[in-house]
Amino acid sequence: MKRTLLFLIPFLMLTFLVKATTSLRVQNPQQTWIYYQGNIDTAVLSIKPKGAYFECGLYLTFSARPYNTNPYDTFEVQMPFDLPEGSFIHDSWLWVGNQIIQAKLSDRNRAQVIYEGIVQRRKDPSILYKNGPNQYELRVYPLPGTKQRKVKITYMVPAKWGLSKVSCPIPMNILKASTQSPYFEVLSYTDNDWMNPAITELSGVTFQTHPGDAFATAVIPSASIANLGDMNYSLKSPMQNGTFSAVYETGANEGYYQFVMMPSQAMALTGGKKTVFLYDYEANSTTAPGELLSKTRQLLLDNYSASDSFNLFFSQLGIYQYSNTWMPCDTGTINLVFNHLAISNPISNYSSLPSLLGQGINFVKNNNSVGEIVLFSNTDNYNTPSNSNQLFTDILTLMGPNKIPIHIVDFQNLNLSYNWQGGQYYYGGEYFYMNLSALTGGNYESVRVPNTYYYYNYDFRSFAETTDDLISQMQGRITIFDAHADVQNGFCYGNYDNTDGGVVFVNKPYIKIGRYSGLLPIGVEISGMFNGAPLSQIFTLNNYFAADSFTRKMWMAKFMADLESGTNINNQTKAEIMDSSISSRVLSLYTAFLALEPSDTTQACNGCVDETNPGTTGVINAAEDITLKAFPNPFSSDIKLQVHLEDARAELKIYNTLGQLVKTFELNSDMGSDITLNWNGTFDNGDELSSGVYLVILETKGGKKMMRIVKN
C-alpha cells in the first residue's frame, strides 16, 4: 500500500500541473451534452499606442466548422478567457448579418436575465462580463452548425516599456483555444512619435501599408501561433532621456496626466553592465529553443543600452561560444546576432552543463573578472547532493576569490522528478540551481509556482514572465520609493501608480496616472534609497505629448479597479462602481456588455468602423447585401473568390501592397448573383505573383467590399 501511494504522488502532481483559464467551446444550450471545442476561423488584432496603455481591438470569427455539424444545429459560443494583468475591457460588438450591434453596458444581473431569456427564445444576443481582476467570459448565441459569428472585444492593456522598445502582449491564450490555428492579422497604428512596428519573436514578419488604410498590417503564420508560447508587438520607444509624459486637458487648468519613467536611464542608476548568457536545453519543457533566443533579444533591447556588453554560449558536443570578445548592446548588434542565430539554430537537445558553466566562467575571468552570468537551463541531471556537491566545489574553485554571480532561469515543466533533501522536496533540478545561485550571489527563478492548495501541485507561469522577474532582480531596486506630483496654483490628485510596497525596480518602468487642477507644467519629485544611499530628483513635464480622452478612460479604469479591490464592499460602493462603469463604458465586476438583435429599440451602430473591412461602418452594404469570401487563405497556387451581389455589374480588383493593380475581374448579371472565381495567383499578363499580402476590392454602384488575401 505504501508503494502505491508513493507512486500516486508524482502522478497526482503532474495531473494538476496546468490550470488553463482560457477555453473555447460551442454547446447546444437545449442539449447540454452536445458540445465541441470551438474554432476561431479568423482573428484580427488592431493596436493603437496610448502611452501607459495600448488600445486593442480583437475581432474574432467563431465556427464549429471542423466538425460534421448540420445547418440546423444551433450552438452557443462559450469563451472564458484571461487578459494580461492590469487590462480592462471597454467595448463589445456583435455582428448580426451585415450589421454591427454595439453592446450596451448595464447592470450585470439584469443583463444575464435578459440574455438567458433570449437564448431560450432562440434570438441573437451576446454577453460579456468580468469574473475577476483579469478573468472574463464571452457568450454568443446562436451559432448555426455550418456558419460563423463575428465579434469584437476592445480592451486596454498596460504597455511594457523598455529602454528602446514599447511592447504589447498578443493574446496567444485566446488564439490557442481554437481547434485549429486561425488566420491571424495584426493592424498597427503608428505616427511620427510611435514608429517601427514589429513582432518581437518573428523577425521575418514585416508590416506593410495598403492604399487608403490608416494602418499597416502583418499576417502571422499559423505555425507561429501553434509553436510559440508568447508573442509581442513592439514599437520604438518615444521616451526622451528615460521619461514619457502626456496630458489630456478637459478644461481651463484641469485634466488628466500620464508619467512613465525608466529609473535606470532617467536617473543614470546603471551602466556598463556585462552579461554572459548560457543556454543548456533538454526535452523537459514546453518552451521551444526559438523562444529562448527571441526572449533574450527582447530583454537585451528592453533592459540594456549601448554602453552595456554581452556574449552567448551554447551547450553542444564542444561548447559553442558566439564571440571571442564582449559585444556592445546597441540595437544593430543585437539584431544582427539574433538574426544569425535564428538561421544557425545553435541550441542542441542535450545537456553539457558542467562544460558550459566552465567556459562561461573562464570568459569572465579572462576579461578582468568583471561580469555576471545568466543561465537558461531545464536539465535535472544534478538534482541530489551526490551528483551536485562536487560540481559546486569545482565551480567555486574555478572562480577563485572573485565570485561571479550566476543567475538562473529554470524552465523545466515536463518530466518532473522530485527528491527529499534536508527537510524539503526539490523538483526537477531545483537542488542544484537554488544552491548554485545562492553560493555565487546570484538569483534563481523558476517557471514553477507552488500552488497554495496542494503541496504536491505546481502552477506555471510563462518563460517570458520568469525571465523578466530574474532580470529585474539583477538590475537592483529603489526602496522607500515616493513620487509626488504637483502643479502651480493648484494640486494633483487621484494618483495611481505601479509601485509594490514602496519598491521600484530600476529596469522596470514607473508609471503614474492622475488628475490635476492648476497651471501646467506638472512637476514630479522622485525620492528613495538605492544601494544604501538616498536619492532625489525632480522631473518637470514640459515636453509632454497631447493625449486624447482615452487617458480619462485609463484613469476611470484604475479608479474602479481600486474600488473593486476593497475588502469590505458595501452596496454604496457597488453602486459607485456601476455608475462609473456605465458612464465611462469600462466593464466592471457588477456590469455586463449585452448586444441584442436589431429592433425598434436596438439599432445598428452606424458610427462603428470595421477595421477588417476598410471604408465600411456599422451597416455594411445592407441594401445590396454583397459578400466577398476567399479560400484557402493563405493560398499557395490557386484560390477561390466567392462573390454574392444583387447589382447588374461589378468589378473585382486585386492590388499589391504598393497599391499597384495586378488583376481585374469583370462581373455582370449573366453570371448570376452567386459567383465563384478561380484565380491562379497571376498578373493579368500571366506572370506569377510573388508571395505576400494582397488587397481584394469588390466595387459596385452601391458600395464596395474589401478583404486581404495572402500568397505563400
C-alpha distances out from residue 634 to 498, 663, 693, Å: 42, 17, 9
Q: What is the secondary structure of 400-440 as a DSSP string?
A: TTS---EEEEE---SS--EEEETTEEEETTHHHHHHHHHHH
| pLDDT (0 to 100) of residue 451 | 63
Read off the pLDDT band of 1 (50, 70, 90): very low
Cβ atoms 310, 298 nearer than 8 A: no
For residue 294 the three cell numbers come to 527571441
Q: Tens digits of per-residue pLDDT, 206-245? A: 998 876 678 999 999 888 898 887 899 999 999 998 999 9
| pLDDT (0 to 100) of residue 615 | 47
Residue 131 region by backbone torsions, left for phi larger than 0, else alpha for psi between -120 and 50, else beta = alpha
Q: Which of 264, 257, 216, 260 is nearest to 239 (CA)?
A: 260
Read off the pLDDT band of 698 (50, 70, 90): confident
Percent of the chain past pLDDT 70, that is, above it, reads 91
Angle 410-414-419 from CA coordinates, rounded to 5°: 75
279 CB neighbour count, 10 Å cutoff: 23
Q: Tens digits of per-residue pLDDT, 163-194? A: 888 999 999 999 999 998 998 999 999 988 99
Can you give the pTM of this predicted structure?
0.76
Q: Tens digits of per-residue pLDDT, 88-106? A: 999 999 999 888 999 999 9
Tell me the angle at which helices 385-399 and 353-365 cross, rounded to the nearest 10 degrees. 20
Q: Tens digits of per-residue pLDDT, 489-498? A: 999 999 999 9
Helix (H) or strand (E) holding 59: strand 53-63
Where would I find the H helices in 16-96?
none
Contacts 24+ apart (CB under 8 A), 579-586: 580/556, 581/105, 582/105, 582/106, 584/90, 584/552, 584/553, 584/556, 584/557, 584/560, 585/90, 585/91, 585/105, 585/553, 586/88, 586/89, 586/90, 586/553, 586/556, 586/557, 586/560
| pLDDT (0 to 100) of residue 614 | 59
For residue 107 the three cell numbers come to 447592470
Edge-to-edge strands of the sheet including 692-700? 661-668, 649-655, 692-700, 703-711
Q: Tell me, what amino acid is at 222? A: S
Give the residue-averaged pLDDT of 151-163. 94
Strand ranges, E, within 134-214: 135-144, 148-158, 160-161, 165-169, 183-188, 198-199, 208-209
Residue 449 CA from chain centroid, whole number: 21
Q: Tens digits of per-residue pLDDT, 348-381? A: 999 999 999 999 999 999 988 789 999 999 999 9
Strand ranges, E, within 192-314: 198-199, 208-209, 216-220, 232-236, 243-251, 254-261, 274-280, 309-314
Q: Tens digits of per-residue pLDDT, 264-282? A: 889 988 778 899 999 999 9
Q: Radius of gyration over alpha carbons of the chain, in Å?
A: 28
Ordered domains of the chain (ranges, CATH): 16-236 (2.60.40), 243-267+477-542 (2.60.40.1230), 274-475 (3.40.50.410), 627-711 (2.60.40.4070)
Average pLDDT of the chain, as a whole number: 87
CA dihedral over 137, 142, 143, 148, signed as positive or negative: negative
Q: Tens digits of per-residue pLDDT, 390-442? A: 999 999 999 998 899 999 999 999 988 888 887 888 889 999 999 999 999 99
C-alpha distances out from residue 625 to 558, 602, 631, 673, 703, Å: 42, 20, 20, 11, 10
CA dihedral over 302, 303, 308, 309, signed as positive or negative: negative
CA 182, CA 192: separation in Å to the nearest integer? Answer: 32
| pLDDT (0 to 100) of residue 302 | 85
Read off the pLDDT band of 659 (50, 70, 90): low
In a 3-state reduction of DSSP, which class is residue 650? strand
Q: Tell me, what amino acid is at 363? A: F
